């Protein structure tokens, strides 16, 4: 297994890092987070660089890049804000699923629009009574003539209010089967009968998190992504990439937060000494460095396995579990070490903790990841 990067991958990473340093400075990230504004101009500039077509096949005008490039992109975008990385990845989640399961008409319609920065996606699965037991959802889509008629409620749909957005909705299309009765359906956010309510949350404030209410929402029969009643199969088939990306974002932000902590304890003086001179604080720094490096190794091991076409459910869950909990711990320890400063929005610690808690939940909670890891280990 070779976890080194090619020269092309290293150049790609450096170009993203340069972009983030110029276009996503910490002060702007704080402002967007506090005000809850979607980073439209930043995402438009990314589209202008061709990054929204990076993971579209060359046959559809994209670059056809793979999982390692995706992890590098997400890590660097997340340096100053996991929300920027998440906003990018959620739309790429739609692209990757269209690549795999979309009809020729859907590919022709959506992929060029995404590449040009004229199309975003969000994904809606969770409901008030179905969280970790996601397949227990009750939102219904019934075929009437040439239209699907959708009724129900959804929760925690990240970036549903983004501009030019279409929701990829997971709805029940067969009442007689649990996992086998679900389909993924494109629903434009201006569809009559769709009502959205932006929730007040501690994380992902730039993107926004929404409750969705469907009251006889009608979309064409051809709006189903892939085949009817195979939505659960598509979701499960994409979990490894999703968890790798969540891990990459958490790890990228944790690395930056650790850098901020190190700079602070090297300069801040108490009792005539810098904080970094105290052994207890040195041990904290050492522990955080070990955790961050382990998160990086787990993330890129998963990316490498995906690049090779190898199944990696255990590795993806390990990466997601460890990286997100590392980000939470970096934020928590950073707040403790910075004292009162750590509780302010002028420093990144409180936001790192908040965003880490959001990442711990999204893509399957930590307990779900532990269940997956334990089950696979015990199976041998």
The pLDDT assigned to 2 comes to: 66
Domains in the chain, CATH or no CATH each:
7-120 (1.10.540.10), 122-233 (2.40.110.10), 235-379 (1.20.140.10)
Q: Among residues of the chain, what percentage have pLDDT more than 90?
A: 92
Over 90: is that where the pLDDT of 44 sits?
yes
Rounded Cα distance between 78 and 89, Å, is 11
pLDDT in tens, 78-107: 999 999 999 999 999 999 999 999 999 999
**Which stretches does DSSP call E strand in 2-145?**
120-124, 140-144
Rounded Cα distance between 262 and 284, Å, is 10
Work out the burial of residue 191: count CB atoms within 10 Å of its CB; fewer than 13 is exposed, 13-18 middle, 19 or more buried. Answer: middle
pLDDT in tens, 299-352: 999 999 999 999 999 999 999 999 999 999 999 999 999 999 999 988 889 999
The pLDDT assigned to 104 comes to: 95
Q: Is the backbone of residue 195 left (phi > 0), alpha (psi -120 to 50) or beta? A: beta
Structure tokens at 331: 């934020």
Closest CA to 43 of 115, 131, 98: 115
> 187 near 148, Cβ under 8 Å?
no
Closest CA to 325 of 370, 354, 349, 360: 360
pLDDT in tens, 233-250: 999 999 999 999 999 999
The pLDDT assigned to 346 comes to: 85
Instruction: Name the β-bridge partners of 37.
Output: none
What's the DSSP call for residue 214? E
Quick check: pTM over 0.75?
Answer: yes
Region 214-226: mean pLDDT is: 98
pLDDT in tens, 111-149: 999 999 999 999 999 999 988 888 899 999 999 999 999
> 135 near 128, Cβ under 8 Å?
no
């Amino acid at each position: 297994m070779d976890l080194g990067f090619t020269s092309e991958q290293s150049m790609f990473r450096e170009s993203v890092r340069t972009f983030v340093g110029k276009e996503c400075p910490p002060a702007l990230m704080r402002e967007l987070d506090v005000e809850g504004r979607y980073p439209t101009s930043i995402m438009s500039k990314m589209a202008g660089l061709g990054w929204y077509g990076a993971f579209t096949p060359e046959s559809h005008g994209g670059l056809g890049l793979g999982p390692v490039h995706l992890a590098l992109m997400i890590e660097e975008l997340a340096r100053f804000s996991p929300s920027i990385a998440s906003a990018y990845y959620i739309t790429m989640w739609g692209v990757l699923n269209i690549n795999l399961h979309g009809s020729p008409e859907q590919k022709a319609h959506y992929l060029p629009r995404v590449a040009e920065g004229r199309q975003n996606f969000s994904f809606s699965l969770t409901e008030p009574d179905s969280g970790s037991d996601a397949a227990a959802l009750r939102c219904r889509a019934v075929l009437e003539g040439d239209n699907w008629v959708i009724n129900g409620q959804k929760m925690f749909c990240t970036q549903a209010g983004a501009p030019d957005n279409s929701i990829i909705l997971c709805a029940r299309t067969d009442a007689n089967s649990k996992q086998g009765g679900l389909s993924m359906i494109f629903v434009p956010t201006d569809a009559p009968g769709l009502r959205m309510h932006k929730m007040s949350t501690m994380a992902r404030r730039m993107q926004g998190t929404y409750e969705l209410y469907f009251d006889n929402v009608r979309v064409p029969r051809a709006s189903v992504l892939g085949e009817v009643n195979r939505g659960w199969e598509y979701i499960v088939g994409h979990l490894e990439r999703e968890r790798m990306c969540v891990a990459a974002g958490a790890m990228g932000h944790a690395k930056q937060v650790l850098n901020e902590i190190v700079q602070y304890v090297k300069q801040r003086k108490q009792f005539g000494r810098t904080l970094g001179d105290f052994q207890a604080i040195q041990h904290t720094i050492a522990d955080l460095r070990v955790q961050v490096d382990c998160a990086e190794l787990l993330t890129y091991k998963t990316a490498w396995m995906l690049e090779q076409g190898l199944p990696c459910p255990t590795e993806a869950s390990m990466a997601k579990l460890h990286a997100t909990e590392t980000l939470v711990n970096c934020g928590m320890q950073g707040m403790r070490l910075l004292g009162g400063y750590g509780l302010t929005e002028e420093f990144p610690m409180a936001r790192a903790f908040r965003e880490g808690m959001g990442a711990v939940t999204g893509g399957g909670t930590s307990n779900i990841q532990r269940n997956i890891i334990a089950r696979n280990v015990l199976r041998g």
